[in-house]
Homo-oligomer: A and B are copies of this chain.
Amino acid sequence: MVTLDLPEKPGRPRSERAHRAVLEAVDDLLVDEGYAAMTMKGIALRAGVGRQTIYRWWSTKAEILLEACVEDAREELHAPPCADPSDDLYAYLAVLTHFLTVSPAGLAYRALVGEAQHDPAVRDLLQRADVLTPSALAVLDRVRTVAPDMPENDLAVAQLTGPLLSRALISPGPLSGELLRVHAEGLLRAWAER
């Protein structure tokens, strides 16, 4: 019998423990202390990890944030399809609001959007790995049949998610569920056959 060893590199292998610890430390710090207090030193300390280890695997704080939120985001932004288009949109708006205003992953996402305003590199990073768009497109595709006048994706996504996102970025509380329902129905009327 032949043993099929993977051609492992020499030396000590990457510590998955350290990897996870960093991502969790970022989430924790973000929730406990806020973004401003979240320094590289602090992350390393909280994670029980050497500072150099962080720089070895991520170039910038933004990359850590992105990795810290992107997986959770995919999961949290999945709304189960509903038969009724209004319900479908509403369900999505509800999970989106939850993500943006409650979830630690959403907190990381907002921090990332914030950093993007200060640093073009982060802006690029955020555009290449957009967190919201795929889930929004999935919903739009489902309701497209009953929304024949839906504009091109660019605008439709902005109309769907923009009000919630800008609200989450600027105002203190989330839009109420009732208003989310109003928004969903407004979109359907706007996109209905003329």
Contacts and interface: CB of A to CB of B under 8 A. Distances in A.
Contacts of A36: 118-119
A191 B190 CA distance: 8
Interface residues of A, number: 45
Contact of A164 (B120, B162, B186): B162
Interface in A123-157: 123, 126-127, 130, 151-152, 154-155
Contacts of A163: 155, 158-159, 162-163
Interface string A31-48: 000111000000000000
Contact of A151 (B120, B167, B170, B182): B182
A96 to B, nearest CB: 12
A102 interface: no
A169 B117 contact: yes
A179 B165 contact: no
Interface string A47-75: 00000000000000000000000000000
A143 B162 CA distance: 21
Interface stretch (A1-9, A19-27, A81-89, A106-114): A106-114
Contact of A162 (B116, B151, B162): B162
Nearest 3 pairs of A and B residues by beta carbon: A114-B117, A162-B163, A186-B190
Given A114-B114, A158-B167, A189-B189, 9 more contacts: A114-B116, A126-B170, A130-B170, A151-B183, A152-B179, A154-B179, A159-B159, A162-B164, A165-B169
